[in-house]
Amino acid sequence: MRASKVGLVLLACAVAGAAAAPMVAPHTPDQQYRALLDAPPTVPHVIDDDGAWHAPFIHPWVLANRLEQTFNQDRSTRVPLAWFSGGTLVRSTDDERAPLMLLGTDSFGRDVFSRLLYGARTSLGLAALAALAALAIGAVVGGIAGYAGGIVDDVLMRASEFVLVLPAIYVVLALRAVLPLVLSATQVFLLLVIIFGVVGAPLVARGVRGIVRSERGLEYAIAARSLGASHSRLLLRHLLPATSGFLVVQCTLLVPAFIVAEATLSYVGLGFPDPIASWGQMLHDASNVRALADFPWLLSPAVAIFVVVLALNLLLQDRRAAARYTGPM
């Protein structure tokens, strides 16, 4: 059980960070520092180069070569940090010359750490809702297919295969042309939840169907039917809960997939508009040789995604299997 507690704590931190983004983030997600494009992180120190202790401070980065995007750290200057000022938890006292960039800046000069926090709202919110939608749709479809069997099963499974094999990108490309040109962030959000929910459902449905089919032949199920349990009761109370382990794993798979897929769909025009931060797009912009070699801090969304998915998995997948075994015992 300890592992799941760790998961809960991690997840709570992530959600709290996302919710409290305006207060925790030192900058807004669209704040650009034009002299600091792709700048490295400003690491807070407490000991200066001479060994003396100070309140937490940072050294400013100075542009050395604009084209090559190299910076020199001005170790002679100490810029102390200000706490609980300007509406945020912590920031630099000299924002113009030496802004606090815990994870460096991106190619527009925007603070990666702040965008990570704000992006959590967008991406985690989207991925969570979409995953729930996919799991719900998949469980219903798979449950009915597995339980009813026969022609219903065939039709539902073939329909879900159709959804699976038709590349979503074709649909979205054609769809985008008929949607209004300017889409608000909320509209994009809802559209993506629907699209991802539909696209993610088939894999879920198939697994659920397989499990339900096996379970319905077990003694306890037959016994329950003979005792007069209705179809829906059997399905909801006994058969579907048997799929909970599978659904949990699917959740672990769907969340990161959806976060990343948002970036892919933005290529055909259906993504969150700039300058809204989203982990998927941040990671996509960082997926090039230059970033890997020279600006590794841009890949922090990958670490963030890892932490969230790990937390989710620890929390959900560690429940003792026996606890949910709802047989006739």
Partner 1 sequence: MAQERALDLVGRLTMGQLVRINRATWDIEPWLAESWTRSTDGLQYTLKLRPNVTFSDGHPFTADDVVFSFEALYDEKTSSPISETVRVGGKPLRVDASGPLTVVVTFPSPFGPGLRLLDNVWILPKHRLAAALKQGTFARAWGLNTPPEELAGLGPFVLEKFEPGQRLSFVRNPHYWRTTADGKRLPSLDRVILEVVPEQDAETLRLQSGQSDLIATELRTSDYAPLKRLADAGQISLVDVGDGYDADSFWMNLKPGVFGGDPRASWIQKDELRRAISMAVDRELFLNTVYLGAGAPVFGPITAANKKWYASGVPHEAHDPAGARQLLASIGLVDRNGDGMLEDARNHPARFTLLTQKGRSDRERAVAVIRDQLKTIGLTVDVVMLDFLEVVKRIYSGNYEAIYLGAPATDVDPASNLDFWLSSGAQHFWNPSQKTPATEWERRIDDLMAKQIATTDDSTRRDLFDEIQRIFAEHQPAVYFAAPHVFVATSSRVTHITPSLIPPQVLWAADTIQVR
Partner 2 sequence: MAVYLTRRLVFAVLLIFIVSSASLVLTRLAPGDFAMVTLGVDARPELLEQTRARYGLDRSIAAQYRDWLSHAVRLDFGQSMQHGVPVAGLVAGAAANTAILAVTALSAATLIGLPLGIIAGSKGGTAASHAIRAISIVALSTPSLLTSLILLVVAARTGWFPVGDMRSAGVSTTTDLLWHLVLPATALALPIAAMFERLQAQAMSEAIAQPFVLAAVGRGVPRSRVVWRGALKAALRPTMAIYGLVIGALLSGSFAVEAVTSWPGLGQLMLNALRARDIYLVAGCAAAGSMFLAVGTLLSDVALAVVDPRARE
**Site for partner 1 (CB under 8 A): which residue of 83, 84, 162, 267?**
267
Nearest approach, Cβ of 99 to partner 2 (angstroms)?
28
Q: Binding to partner 1 by residue 68, rule CB under 8 A?
A: yes
Q: Binding to partner 2 by residue 129, rule CB under 8 A?
A: no
Residue 6: how many CB atoms within 10 A of its CB? 14
For residue 75, the partner it binds in partner 1, partner 2, none, with Cβ less than 5 to 8 A by kind, is none
Give the interface segment with partner 1, choosing from 82-90, 136-144, 176-184, 225-233 (CB under 8 A).
176-184
Q: Binding to partner 2 by residue 245, rule CB under 8 A?
A: yes
Q: Binding to partner 1 by residue 288, rule CB under 8 A?
A: yes
Q: Binding to partner 2 by residue 317, rule CB under 8 A?
A: yes
The answer to whether the beta carbons of residues 104 and 41 sit under 8 Å apart is: yes
Answer positive or negative: Cα dihedral of 194, 196, 200, 202. Answer: positive
Question: For 111, which DSSP code?
Answer: B
Answer positive or negative: Cα dihedral of 29, 33, 37, 38. Answer: negative
Residue tagged 């030192």 (tokens): 26
Give the interface segment with partner 2, choosing from 52-60, 96-104, 199-207, 226-234 (CB under 8 A).
199-207
Nearest approach, Cβ of 71 to partner 2 (angstroms)?
22
For residue 267, the partner it binds in partner 1, partner 2, none, with Cβ less than 5 to 8 A by kind, is partner 1
Nearest approach, Cβ of 318 to partner 2 (angstroms)?
8
Could you tell me which of 97, 61, 58 has the C-alpha nearest to residue 78? Answer: 58
Residue ranges of alpha helices (H) inside the chain are 2-19, 21-24, 112-148, 150-165, 168-178, 185-216, 219-226, 231-233, 244-266, 279-286, 289-294, 300-317
The answer to whether the beta carbons of residues 119 and 282 sit under 8 Å apart is: yes
Q: Can you tell me the distance from the alpha carbon of 30 to that of 193, in angstroms, rounded to the nearest whole number?
A: 24
For residue 128, the partner it binds in partner 2, partner 1, none, with Cβ less than 5 to 8 A by kind, is none
For residue 139, the partner it binds in partner 1, partner 2, none, with Cβ less than 5 to 8 A by kind, is none
Q: Can you tell me the distance from the alpha carbon of 202 to that of 165, in angstroms, rounded to the nearest whole number?
A: 10
Could you tell me which of 43, 24, 17 has the C-alpha nearest to residue 83? Answer: 24
Could you tell me which of 2, 11, 80 has the C-alpha nearest to residue 44? Answer: 80
Q: Can you tell me the distance from the alpha carbon of 230 to that of 165, in angstroms, rounded to the nearest whole number?
A: 35
The answer to whether the beta carbons of residues 127 and 63 sit under 8 Å apart is: no
**Site for partner 2 (CB under 8 A): which residue of 114, 207, 238, 270?**
207
Q: Binding to partner 2 by residue 288, rule CB under 8 A?
A: yes
Show contacts with partner 1 in window 25-54 (CB under 8 A). 32, 34, 37
Q: Binding to partner 1 by residue 269, rule CB under 8 A?
A: yes
Tell me how far CA of residue 138 lies from CA of 20, 74, 146, 163, in angstroms.
33, 56, 12, 12
**Site for partner 1 (CB under 8 A): which residue of 1, 293, 322, 329?**
293
Footprint of partner 2 on this chain (CB under 8 A)?
3, 154, 157-158, 161-162, 164-167, 169-171, 173-174, 177, 202-203, 206-207, 209-211, 213-214, 217-218, 245-246, 248-249, 252-253, 256, 260, 283-284, 287-289, 292-293, 299, 302, 305-306, 309-310, 313-314, 317-318, 320-322, 325, 329
Interface residues with partner 1 (CB under 8 A) are: 32, 34, 37, 66-70, 107-109, 173, 176-177, 181-182, 266-269, 273-275, 285, 288-290, 293-294
